[in-house]
Amino acid sequence: MKRRIIETADGSRTILIEDWQEQYHSLHGAIAEAYHVFLQSGLYKVNSTDVAILEIGFGTGLNALITFQEAQKRGLIVRYTGLEAYPVKKDELNQLNYVEMLGTAERSTPFQEMHELSWGDTHAITPDFSLRKLRMDFRDFSSGPAYNLIYFDAFGPRVQPELWTPAVFSSMYKALLPSGILVTYSAKGSVRRAMQQAGFLIEKLPGPPGKREMLRAVKPGISS
């Protein structure tokens, strides 16, 4: 499929898949969307300084990069797992401007390192931030309760409805610890119902720029 780099409304770039007319991030701002959906509505709500994160759709690595930066600011210990079936190509990564936009050009190594690390192994980016990338179809992933937070950043249900089903969300539910959180940019009714069928408690939240709503799903905690 034909792909090209485009600029979003906040100046940050993303990848457009022309055949689908679907992009990796919001046209209203790639960085703005990432902060709003995954940090402000997800990471900031985790009641722990030791956080295990699972990202469904590692993609460009933008969510991992901003999480890495925020972990450094807040003194968090983060164990990050990213799933990706089709890794972004090096020439595409070289055209993305996240390091410059985030004001971290002098510390660009973590972003480069994240993409150069081998798949399937756990790597320490710093003593407090580890990354494990798994190259696999999201539907093939299974885990017992191990994660505090899931970033669900798959391509939208319009183009990949098979990734937004009760079965996939049931797998994510099992992977979360009690009181664990799943956040996604989507607010479709079918997505909300699939989450509820999997057992999640659902919250509709204000969406990122250009989007009215988003969803946060919470796995119920252990009753006392």
Q: What is the pLDDT of residues 50-107, one digit of tens each?
A: 999 999 999 999 999 999 999 999 999 999 999 999 999 999 999 999 999 987 655 5
Mean pLDDT value of segment 134-150: 96
**CA–CA gap between residue 183 and residue 36 (Å, rounded):** 10
Q: Is the pLDDT of residue 163 over 50?
A: yes
Top-tier CATH class for 29-218: alpha beta
Residue with the bigger pLDDT between 189 and 112: it is: 189
pLDDT value for 221: 85
| pLDDT averaged over every residue in the chain | 94
For residue 224, pLDDT over 50 is answered with: no
Mean pLDDT of 18-35: 95
Q: How far apart (Å, rounded) are the C-alpha atoms in residues 209 and 30?
A: 10
Domain ranges of the chain: 29-218
Sequence-distant (≥ 6) Cβ neighbours of residue 19 within 8 angstroms? 1, 2
- Is residue 152 scored above 50 in pLDDT? yes
- pLDDT one-digit tens code per residue, 179-220: 999 999 999 999 999 999 999 999 999 999 999 999 999 999
Q: What is the mean pLDDT of residues 42-48?
A: 97
Average confidence (pLDDT) over 15-31? 94
Return the pLDDT at 23.
Answer: 94
Inform me whether the pLDDT recorded for 223 exceeds 80.
Answer: no
